[in-house]
Structure 1
Amino acid sequence: MVLELHVWGPAFSLPSIDPQCLAAIAYFSAVVPRDAWVLVASSDVSVSGTNELPALKDGSTWVSKYRNIVNYLREYSNGQWDLDAHLTGSEKADNIAFSTFTESNGQLLIDLYLYVTSQNYYAATSPAYGAILTWPNQWITPVKTRNAARRRTDHLGLSSLDLEATEEQRERERLAAAAAGHIPQSLLYRPRETVTTLLGKTAQASQFRLESLTAELFEPLQELLGKKSYMLSDNHPSSLDTLVVGYLSLALVPEVPLPWLREALLTKTPLLTKYVERMRQQYLGVVSVPDAFSPTPSGALPWRPPESITISRIGHTLFNTLADATPIWSEIRKRERLRDPAAQPSESAPHNVLLTAAAVVAGATAVASYFFYPGLLKPLPFKSANAEEGGKEEKQGDGVMEIGSAQDFLSVL
């Protein structure tokens, strides 16, 4: 039976926009024979029994998250597909410690770089999602992902990278001061600051903190690498290597307006930079969006087109969005998902029928609610860098690649 690896789709010439997905793809490329697996850019967590990506499907079993997938492959192959089989006791300890270190610190930096930093998000990340998602995920997923990134990085005190949040906070402060009588009403509504001015203030306020955060991740990894070919060995890659290339590829490769993370990697740790580029070329390659959706895939990765979008899938998406936005219901759903995060068998046929019917009804309700309550499913406006500089907002969807539309996606399939 061929294993299916479901991931978020390609972006920035990488096979996925998500670091955990990139790590899983690199691991499969390094150890699993090409004819034993297929790669599916489903870009929709509802396809997975675990409601997460990356997700490995083996028959009726679903396994999510990079570390769980690595462990499952080890058991599935009786140790044949185990990149860590050659490690000594101390190397295994380093593998676990540095893997945890890379995931926690790397995720925070990717959150700040591609999602919290407004210019990078609107100019690069949001259009990248638009190229791989179909309706209604085009409007739902980027907003949810960015909000999650904001929550994860709140404690770092770098919200100034988010220009909208900065301007909103200043507006609240001005209104509060005016209400207290500290600012005359005639001076309250002053012209909004330009993007250039805000960026200048942001760089000054965030520079030292960002330098500290990047050094905390990059320098220990370069020290561990030393002059070896791989992180823990000079002869064999490990699961730490594929994890590092998954996270640091998203620091090195994307073309963004404010490349502070790439510049830190290049200047602080040149040896680590060369290592990441070499590993990326070897295990991830260069991928375009059409590669993942073509009915006749080509290239080094075993792409298989995702399944066609159905009414029930759209209903599931809208149903899940409404459910996750309801406080009590969302907590119940979270507990249900945590019951068996590693593997979940497929549901019985009667249950599937009822669930599909409920999803379709909920989806229709959500669409109707959208027209009566426009703020319920708020779409994300996309602003180009030029539009922001000129103070003019482009129409929603401008700059999004046509392959991301539902019609074009279905025509490809």
Structure 2
Amino acid sequence: MVLELHVWGPAFSLPSIEARSLATIAYFVLAVPKDEWVLVPSSDPSVSPTNELPALRNGNTWVSRFRNIVDYLRQYSGGEWDLDGWLTGLERADNIAFSSFIESRGQSLLDLSLYVSSQNYYGSTSPTYGTILAWPNMWILPPKLRDGAKTRTEHLGLSSLDLDAIEEQRNRDQSSAMATAKIPKSLIKRPRDTVSSLLGRTPQQNQFKLEALTAEFFEPFEELLGNKSYLLSDEHPSSLDCLAIGYLSLALVPELPYPWLRESLQAKAPRLAEFTERMRRWCFGTVDVSSVFEPNGAISSLPWKVPERLTVAKIGSTLVNTLADSTPIVKDLRANDRLRDAAKAPDSGLSPEESKAISEVSQAQKRDMYVSIATVTAGVTAFVGYLFHVGLIQVSLGGSEPEEEDEGVETNFDMGALGDALSGL
């Protein structure tokens, strides 16, 4: 059976707009024979039971996440499709350490560049999603992805590259200054620096801060690469090379209105930039986004397969799920269910003890939420019953006098009496 690799769709002349999808595509190109797999730009996480992309489908079996897919391919092929089979102990340790580093630090920089920056998001990223997503996901998913990127980068103290918000931020600062004018300076807490505030300072300070952020990411890989053909060897690529291609391609290739990340890569790590371009051309070639979604229309070395058309039921399910995820209580309940399902999934990467612990925590949070809802409901019901009991709320049925035009229910509520009752409680 031919394997199906479902990914986020193509963008910026790359086969995907998402780094882990690009890394997985690169691994398939380097490790798996072309006639053994097809590439499906579904751009819909709901196709996978874990609600994640990239996702590999083999019949009824689904595997998501780059590392889980790599492990599955190794087991499925009996080691034949394993790019890391040649690694020694030290090289394997470097592979694990640098893979973790690139996924954490690289994702943060891409979040800032493609999503958090309003100049790049509205000028390039959001319109690109409009070309690869079908209705209604084209309106639903990009804002959710941007919100997720902002959340992931909050810990950096650089919560925004939103150039459009500078004037709004200055207005808020002025209002805050007026409100705190009479408060001693020693009692005023200094806010954390954000990129918006940094951009309001001198260009030299801005450049220094951004250079520090990118240097700590690019320079270790520049040193690791050295004069070798690949990151860990001069002869064989590894899964680390695939991850590097995925993340660095999105730093180097996109033509963005504010290309600070690409300029930093080219200036600080020229050998790494050359490596990225060489490997990108080898693994991906050039992708015509418009032709990928047309039957027999994609002119590419990749084995594209047109995704299935959306059905009315699928569209309805998307709208219902979006509404549910926007409802406060329902949203929290669904989040707990997803956490529990992800922990129990065979490809979660967790030990049985960790999976059991996470599932128990999820169930406990869900029970606590139900208890809270029941407590609030009981309290409100008891309070309303008390108001009826003491006569603060009176209900009388309409009489039969002829001068009354309508019969109905009349409710009298004495606010003064309510105040007296509450003060006596």
TM-score normalised according to structure 1 size: 0.76
1:13 aligned partner, one-letter code: S
* Residue pairs, 1:201-280, within 5 angstroms: 201=201, 206-280=206-280
Structure 2: gaps (5+ residues): 183-196, 349-425
C-alpha distance in 2, partners of 1:291/1:205? 44
Structure 1: gaps (5+ residues): 183-196, 345-413
Structure 1 counterpart SS, 2:344: coil
Seen in structure 2, the aligned counterparts of structure 1 residues 342 and 316 have a Cα distance that, compared at 3 Å, is farther
Worse overlay, 38-47 or 151-160? 151-160
1:229-267 C-alpha deviation (Å, 9 max, x unpaired): 011111110000010000000000000111111011111
Worse overlay, 256-265 or 203-212? 203-212
Residue 356 of structure 2 corresponds to none
**Is the Cα–Cα contact under 8 Å of residues 150 and 160 in structure 2 kept in the other structure?**
no
- Does 2:49 match 1:45? no
Structure 2 counterpart SS, 1:159: coil
Residue 133 of structure 2 corresponds to 133
1:282-302 C-alpha deviation (Å, 9 max, x unpaired): 011111212321211431000
Residue 318 of structure 2 corresponds to 317
Structure 2 counterpart SS, 1:20: helix
**Is the Cα–Cα contact under 8 Å of residues 119 and 164 in structure 2 kept in the other structure?**
no
Deviation at 1:5, TM superposition (A): 0.3
Residue 283 of structure 2 corresponds to 283
1:184-215 C-alpha deviation (Å, 9 max, x unpaired): xxxxxxxxxxxxx9966485554222211211
Deviation at 1:163, TM superposition (A): 2.8
- Does 2:337 match 1:333? yes
C-alpha distance in 2, partners of 1:126/1:203? 27
2:340 aligned partner, one-letter code: E
Which of structures 1 and 2 has the bigger CA Rg?
2
Q: Which has the higher contact order (CA 8 A, sep 6+)?
A: 1
1:331 aligned partner, one-letter code: A
Worse overlay, 305-314 or 172-181? 172-181
C-alpha distance in 1, partners of 2:167/2:129? 25
- Does 2:95 match 1:95? yes
Deviation at 1:70, TM superposition (A): 0.5
Seen in structure 2, the aligned counterparts of structure 1 residues 241 and 335 have a Cα distance that, compared at 3 Å, is same
Deviation at 1:62, TM superposition (A): 0.9
Deviation at 1:339, TM superposition (A): 3.1
User: Identity, % of aligned pairs?
Assistant: 61
Structure 1 counterpart SS, 2:146: helix
Deviation at 1:33, TM superposition (A): 0.6
C-alpha distance in 2, partners of 1:82/1:141? 34
**Is the Cα–Cα contact under 8 Å of residues 2 and 37 in structure 1 kept in the other structure?**
yes
**Is the Cα–Cα contact under 8 Å of residues 160 and 205 in structure 1 kept in the other structure?**
no
1:85 aligned partner, one-letter code: G
C-alpha distance in 1, partners of 2:155/2:106? 15
Worse overlay, 24-33 or 284-293? 284-293
1:45-66 C-alpha deviation (Å, 9 max, x unpaired): 1111110000001111111111
1:315 aligned partner, one-letter code: G
2:210 aligned partner, one-letter code: L
